[in-house]
Amino acid sequence: MASDRGVSAYAALAVGVVAIAWSAIFVRWTHMPGLTSAFYRVLFAAAMLWPILLASGKHPRRIDRSTLGLAALGGLFFAGDVGLYNIAVLHTTAGGATLLGNNAPVFVGLLTWIITRRPPPGRFWLVLAIASVGAALIMRVDAGHAGSRFSADMLAVGTSFCFALYLLVTQRLRGTCDSGTLLALSSTASAAVLLVVALFTHTTLRISGTSSWAAVLGLALVCQVAGYFSLTYALGHLPATVTSVILLAIAPLTALFALVLFGERMTPSQVCGGALVLLGVWLAGRLHGAVRLPALVE
């Protein structure tokens, strides 16, 4: 029985990794502004999640004003996460944006230090240096080619910062909310935030064509719902030392998909930088005890 659960957990982890690695690809296939695809990603995900939660009989527990407030704040940061990422992948390499967007564990360490005023372990500064050098190598190449790509790289870095804030806020809800309820609440709040931003910036919300509809539904169903639940299940049954390593496969897999589908190549310098970023994220995860869903920035 335990063996069967182990096999199921590894299978779920593999499904989650592959599902989330498709995020950048689906964003490209939507043929719409990144802000728009981000809005529909979380909107359709919320529309799918609430009926599933109600049908399962797992009614949300203790959703008071404090819980709703934290969920709304988490949704704000998650909106920044998916919104910035979707914009970034339209203007720079999918692999580079995904690698730069996976620095959340490093930012968690910095933000925890700022909030608690407790200095991180001495090894953390080595981790920060490794990840920073890797990010600099990726961004240096784009800065030499086009300003728009460098700006997109900066947005991708902002993605990981927003997701780090999301993690810090929502970790306080884990005692009162199960994963499905938390995802439904944060997705709903994120959709509301992105709708306001889209209206304020006069960004079109039009979905034109069958292919765009299919890509948007893929973002919501495959990446947001299936990817999240698969990783949640795996993280509950596998050692953090195993999942933290395997989750790092998301960014290289995204780069591979982009190479095959779009002919998008990363330079040797960017590949080296990506390896350093992944090393830094893995080391940061070991310092924190686990890398908790770092790739949900996509």
CA–CA gap between residue 132 and residue 262 (Å, rounded): 28
pLDDT for position 90 = 93
Show the tokens assigned to 120: 């991180």
Residue-wise pLDDT for 33-68, tens only, equals: 999 999 999 999 999 988 988 887 665 555 677 778
Q: How many CB atoms lie within 10 A of CB 188?
A: 20
Amino acid at 97: A
CA 154 to chain centre: 16
pLDDT for position 24 = 94
CA–CA gap between residue 8 and residue 10 (Å, rounded): 6
Q: What stretches of the chain show up as alpha helix (H) in DSSP?
A: 2-21, 23-30, 34-56, 65-89, 94-100, 104-116, 122-145, 147-170, 179-200, 210-218, 227-235, 240-246, 250-262, 268-288
Q: Are 94 and 258 in contact (CB under 8 A)?
A: yes
pLDDT for position 244 = 64
- Report the largest interatomic distance among the alpha carbons of the chain, rounded to a whole angstrom: 55
CB-hemisphere CA count at 13 Å for 287?
23
Q: pLDDT category, 19, cuts 50, 70, 90?
A: very high
- Altogether, the residues listed in the chain come to a count of 298
CA–CA gap between residue 253 and residue 249 (Å, rounded): 6
Question: Of the ranges 35-49, 159-173, 280-294, which is most confident?
Answer: 35-49
Q: Mean of the pLDDT values across residues 192-209?
A: 95
Residue-wise pLDDT for 81-132, tens only, equals: 999 999 999 988 898 888 888 877 778 778 877 877 787 777 888 888 888 8
pLDDT exceeds 80 at position 295: no
Residue 206 DSSP symbol: -
Question: Of the ranges 25-29, 95-99, 134-138, 250-254, which is most confident?
Answer: 25-29
Q: Are 53 and 260 in contact (CB under 8 A)?
A: no
Question: Of the ranges 53-57, 76-80, 91-95, 276-280, which is most confident?
Answer: 76-80
Q: pLDDT category, 207, cuts 50, 70, 90?
A: very high
